[in-house]
Amino acid sequence: LYGSVDPDVHRSVAPKEVYRCALSYLGTYSQDRQRMLHDLFIEPARRTPEARFVMGGAQYPAEFPWTKNIFFVQHLPPAEHPSFFCSSRLTLNITRTAMREMGWCPSGRLFEAAACGVPILSDWWDGLDEFFASDSEILVAALAEEVLAALELPDAQLTRIACAARERVLAEHTGAQRALQFQKILENIHSREMAVA
């Protein structure tokens, strides 16, 4: 079973000024994501010094290539995730290499951000379109230029994308949906065992 989200926890909440930004990223430091983080977060921040970028996470090294417009929240407790996401005009998802190579392996944060109603910009991995439709439920980027183009999209378009992703997550990726899927799996196993007996 894939991960899921609790819509009572991850939901739209009032933004907080401390997290307000054009683009956010939430993730623990990982060397295998560093190139993508550079291309899809640091480089766009460098090219748009007038915009505010906010990153939350842990274990970032002292030599991390910060820019003056990247604001860092060293430890963001899970209870603050909805406020963090909802304060972002757009949030970035970067998939760990092992998950990207495996494909069909969405992170829990992807569902959490969608349930909070924030538009998501993600790197591409096989199977992503099984969970979210490109351009109508999620934006995809591989280059800094694509991130900059996404940041230029009108608010109305970003709102439509965020609402569509939220509807999809609430319909298909909640804990209640996973429980039903698990129950069906068990029923199918039981039916097969009864047929063999």
The string of pLDDT tens digits covering residues 77-119 is: 999 999 999 999 999 999 999 999 999 999 999 999 999 999 9
The overall average pLDDT reported for the chain is: 96
Residue 12 in domain: no
Mean pLDDT of 10-28: 98
Range of the structural domain that residue 39 is part of: 17-196
Cα–Cα dist 122/96, whole Å = 12
* Single-letter amino acid code for the residue at 132: F
Mean pLDDT of 158-169: 99
Give me the CATH number covering residue 75. Answer: 3.40.50.2000
Which of 184, 173, 171, 136 is closest to 2 using CA atoms?
173
Q: Is the pLDDT of residue 45 over 90?
A: yes
Per cent of the chain over pLDDT 90 is 93
Q: Is the pLDDT of residue 43 over 80?
A: yes
Residue 4 in domain: no
Cα–Cα dist 148/42, whole Å = 11
Residue 144 in domain: yes
Looking at residue 130, its pLDDT comes to 96
Cα–Cα dist 15/103, whole Å = 33
Mean pLDDT of 13-17: 98
Cα–Cα dist 116/108, whole Å = 12
Residue 2 in domain: no
Looking at residue 70, its pLDDT comes to 98
pTM of the prediction? 0.93
Residue 33 in domain: yes
At 122, is the secondary structure helix, strand, or coil?
Answer: strand
Look up residue 37 and give its two tokens. Answer: 């983080």
Residue 3 in domain: no
Residue 180 in domain: yes
Cα–Cα dist 113/87, whole Å = 11
Q: How many domains does the chain have?
A: 1
Looking at residue 194, its pLDDT comes to 80
